[in-house]
Structure 1
Amino acid sequence: MRIIILLALLLPFASQASNYKEIDASWVFSTENNFESALENLVFAIESRGLVISYTAHASEMLNRTASAVGTENQVYGDAQILLFCKSDLSHAMVADNPHHLPLCPYSISIYTIFQQPELTYLSIRKPDPAAPFSSEIAKLLISIIEEAQDGF
């Protein structure tokens, strides 16, 4: 029942964003902006809300660097980064509700190009867990950031 309620609340937000699709555990959005422009738009959309990016994981670099160590030569991404950040009022509300909600922060948005499809840049988030507290608020925030990044500034 929680899943149905969460999806009913969030699906209108996700479906309003351009080029949205659900893939396994992720909600994936796309833009025809090249990676550098899309990344710049994404950083601006996060920072314009007064949020601070606490960490950038350079996923494509790590995967390319470690490919031979795990026995693969397949390059999946052209570029791929994961941006981590929190929203203080939402984070305070989550931990005030229960101090064990700490793992729900930071939030992340992945941005990447697929090596064999360089004409699109993807932005994705984890599909919200209907059992997790504040998941609809977090998803609304992340989707609004992605929509702004898709449109540019």
Structure 2
Amino acid sequence: MQKKAAHRLRPLRRLATAVLLAAFSAAAQAQIVEHLLEPTDLANARAALEDSIVAEGLMPASVSEFGDMLKRTAADLGHPADIYRDAVILTFCSAQVAGRMTSENPRHIALCPLSMALYNLPSEPQRVYLTYRLPATGTPGGAQAEALLGRIARRTAESLGLDGHRTIH
């Protein structure tokens, strides 16, 4: 009797698993915010982003020339060389935000440093995308990080004269 009941429940378990996976996938996708900055080029957008980070009293800790790395490794690794026209990732850390998030949960160390990326596509040299991942902690520290990232994105668009920039995701 128990085997029959377990067998009948198997499709329900599969359905529940599929629903949960879809929900987690949607939540993960929702954590990425993207702003369209146009018309501008990547060099001007990068300078504006760097200035916006500094205006918050922070220093970009590192800059990853992500597009160049993909171009360099394309032949050896088999991925397309022309995914981006150009792409960079800037990382930075706010001691205030990091202190708050890690005091809420020591595992939040994995969310530091914060990063923001700029990229454009080969077919759209005057259209730059500014994108970043939200911490999605559901905590006051996470909200503080989200507010910081939002301010930096807005200031970047404003310094480019793009007050009406569009948030895509």
TM norm. shorter chain > 0.5: yes
Q: Which residue does 2:110 correspond to in 1?
A: 103
Q: CA deviation at 1:90?
A: 1.1
Q: Describe the superposition over 1:64-95 as per-residue Cα deviations: whole angstroms up to 9, x where unpaired.
A: 00111122344011110000001111111222
User: Which residue identity is paired with 1:58?
Assistant: E
Q: 2:34 aligns with which of 28, 36, 46?
A: 28
Q: Describe the superposition over 1:99-131 as per-residue Cα deviations: whole angstroms up to 9, x where unpaired.
A: 222111100000111112112011001144255
Q: Which has the higher helix share?
A: 2
Give TM-score, length-normalised by structure 2. 0.70
2:158 matches 1:148: no
User: Which residue identity is paired with 2:119?
Assistant: Y
Distance 1:140 1:81, change over 3 A: same
- Number of equivalent positions: 131
Structure 2, unmatched stretches of 5+, are 1-28, 161-169
Q: Percent identity among equivalent residues?
A: 28
Distance 2:102 2:30 in 1: 28
Q: Which has the higher strand share?
A: 1
Distance 1:133 1:121, change over 3 A: same
Q: Which residue does 2:82 correspond to in 1?
A: 75
Q: RMSD value over aligned CA atoms?
A: 1.9
Larger radius of gyration: 2
In 1, are the aligned partners of 2:58 and 2:92 still within 8 Å (CA)? yes
Once superposed, which parts of structure 1, at least 4 consecutive aligned residues long, lie more than 3 Å away? Answer: 130-133
